[in-house]
Amino acid sequence: MLLKLALKRIAGNGWRSVFNILILFLVLMGMLFIQGMYDGWMRTARRQKEEWEIGAGHFEHSNYDKYDSFTFKDSFAKIPDHIQELIRQNEVVPILVFSGVLYPQGRMTPISIKGIPWDQALLKIPSQMLRVKDEYPGSLPTVIGQDMARTNGLSQGDLVSMRFKDARGVFNAYDIEIVKVMATPVSSIDESQVWIDFTVLNSLVALQNSATLFILKDEATQLNLGSNWRYISQKKSLEDVLAMMKADQAGGYVVIALLLFLAMIAIFDTQILAVFKRRKEIGTLIALGMTRRQIIRLFTYEGCLYMVFGTILTAILGLPLFIHLGTKGIPLPQELSNLNVGGFSETMKSYYDPLTILFMLIMVFVLTLFASWLPAAKIARMKATQALRGKV
C-alpha cells in the first residue's frame, strides 16, 4: 500500500521527480563510466604487461636487480638440461641480460642488452627479426622500443656502435643494426634497452646457453631451478603498475564521491522540501490513521523509488553505451599512446565487473535510503496537530 502511495506521489511530483531520476541516472552513468574505464585500463595494462614482458610469471637469478646494471654480470647461470625441452615447446622463454653502452650519433647511452631466442612465440617482442642468418654478420640485428628510438634519435635501418663487457670482464664492441622499432606499450622493455638474439648475446659475452630470466607461459610450470633462482609471480610483477593506477584511481574516486554527494543532495533536498511543503498532508495522513513509522516508510520508499527508476533508466539508456565502450572502446589520440603508459597505447575499452556494479548500486541505494530517511525521521517528531496547522 505504501509503495503504491509512494509511486503515486512520484508520478504526482511531475518535473521534480523527472529531475531527480535524471540526476540519479547521470550519477550512476558517471560512476559506472569512471569505474568501467579504470577497470578496463587495468585489465589492458595487465594483459599488455603479460603479453610483452612477464608472461604468467617468471624466475630470475637471485643476484639480478633490474634497477642495478652492476648486478647483471653476476646474474646468469647455465640453463639446466631439463628446461631445454620446455624452451623448445615454448613453455619457457630464457632471457639473458647484460649491460653495455650505445653510441648513437656520437653520444654515449648506457643500455641493457637483452638476449631473447629469435624463435620464441610467448612474448610479443618481434624476435623473428633478430635471427642472424650469416655466420659472420657485419652488424647484429637488434630491436628497440619506440621510446628508446625517440630518446636517442634512432630509427629503423640505423647502424650504431655498441660496447659491452663480456662474462670474463673483457671489453668488446659491435655494430648493431636497428631492424625494427617496436611499438610496445610496456615501457619496462623499451627504455634504454636493446634486444638481440639469445644465442648471439651468449656468444658475444663468452657464455653458452646461459640465462638471467625464465619467462613462463603457465603459472603452474615447475622449473626446479634451485636456490640461485627466485620465482616472481605475475601479481608481484604487476605491483608497481597497479600501484600507479590505484593512485590515479583515487582521483576517480573523488569524482565518484562528488557525484554521489550531488545525488544525495538532490534526494535530500527534494525530501526535506517535501517535509515542509507537505506537512499538512502528513498531518492529514496521521489523522486518517497512518502511524509515524508508516509515514517514514512512505517518504523513504519515495526516495528509493527514485533510485530504482534511475537504475532502470541507466540500464535502458546506459547499456548500449557501456556495451559499445566494452567492445569497441574509445580510440586514444597518438599523443597519449606516445606517453608509453601501460594500457594507453591502444583503444581504451571499459570493463564492467558485475560485483563492482552491484557494489556501486548498493552504495547508491544505501546513501539514497539514508538521504530519504533523514528528512522522514524529522517528520516522525512532528506533532499531528501542528502538522495539520501547517507547522513543523
Partner 1 sequence: MKEPLVKIRDLSKLYPTGGGGFLALSELDLDIPAGAFMALVGPSGSGKTTLLNIIGTLDSQTGGEIEVLGHKVDTLDARQSAALRAEKIGFIFQSYNLLPVYNVYENVELPLLLLKMDKAERHEAVMQALKWVGITDKMKSRPNQLSGGEGQRVSIARAMVKRPKLVLADEPTANLDTENSVNILDTMLQINEETGTTFIFATHDQKVIDYMKRVVTLIDGKKAKDDLKTGN
**What minimum distance in Å lies between the beta carbon of 40 and partner 1?**
43
Rounded CA separation 12/108 (Å): 77
**Shorter beta-carbon distance to partner 1: residue 12 or 226:** 12
**Shorter beta-carbon distance to partner 1: residue 16 or 163:** 16
Cα dihedral angle (287, 291, 292, 298), rounded to 10 degrees?
Answer: -100
DSSP 284-339: HHHHHT--HHHHHHHHHHHHHHHHHHHHHHIIIIIHHHHHHHHHT-BPPPHHHHTT
Q: CB-based contacts of 318: which residues, under 8 Å, 6+ apart?
A: 25, 28, 29, 32
Closest alpha carbon to 123 in 176, 184, 43, 178: 184
Write phi, then psi, for 217 (nearest 5 degrees).
-80, -35
**Shorter beta-carbon distance to partner 1: residue 325 or 376:** 376
The CB-side HSE value for 292 (13 A sphere, CA atoms) comes to: 11
Binding segment (CB under 8 A) for partner 1, from list 174-182, 229-237, 253-261, 384-392: 384-392
CA 152 vs CA 144, 193, 332, 345: distances in Å? 11, 11, 25, 21
4 lines the binding site for partner 1 (CB under 8 A)? yes
State whether residue 369 is helix, strand or coil: helix
CB atoms within 10 A of CB 94: 24
**What minimum distance in Å lies between the beta carbon of 11 and partner 1?**
7
**What minimum distance in Å lies between the beta carbon of 19 and partner 1?**
17
Q: What angle do CA 312, 318, 323 make, to 5 degrees?
A: 125
Binding segment (CB under 8 A) for partner 1, from list 92-100, 178-186, 189-197, 281-289: 281-289
Q: Tell me, residue by residue from 139 to 158, as one string, x for binding to partner 1 by CB under 8 A and - for no binding.
A: --------------------
Binding segment (CB under 8 A) for partner 1, from list 3-11, 30-38, 100-108, 261-269: 3-11
Q: Tell me, residue by residue from 7 to 36, as one string, x for binding to partner 1 by CB under 8 A and - for no binding.
A: -xx-xxx-----------------------
Cα dihedral angle (63, 64, 67, 73), rounded to 10 degrees?
Answer: 90
> Looking only at residues 285 through 304 of this chain, which bind partner 1 when binding is defined by CB under 8 A?
286-292
- The cell for 116 is 631473447
**Shorter beta-carbon distance to partner 1: residue 280 or 391:** 280
**What minimum distance in Å lies between the beta carbon of 386 and partner 1?**
10
Q: Tell me, residue by residue from 238 to 277, as one string, x for binding to partner 1 by CB under 8 A and - for no binding.
A: ----------------------------------------
Can you tell me which of 36, 40, 283, 343 binds partner 1, judged by CB under 8 A? 283
388 lines the binding site for partner 1 (CB under 8 A)? yes
**Shorter beta-carbon distance to partner 1: residue 9 or 114:** 9
Can you tell me which of 128, 385, 391, 392 binds partner 1, judged by CB under 8 A? 385
Write phi, then psi, for 89 (nearest 5 degrees).
-80, 5
**What minimum distance in Å lies between the beta carbon of 269 and partner 1?**
19
> Interface residues with partner 1 (CB under 8 A)?
1, 4-5, 8-9, 11-13, 280-281, 283-284, 286-292, 383-385, 388
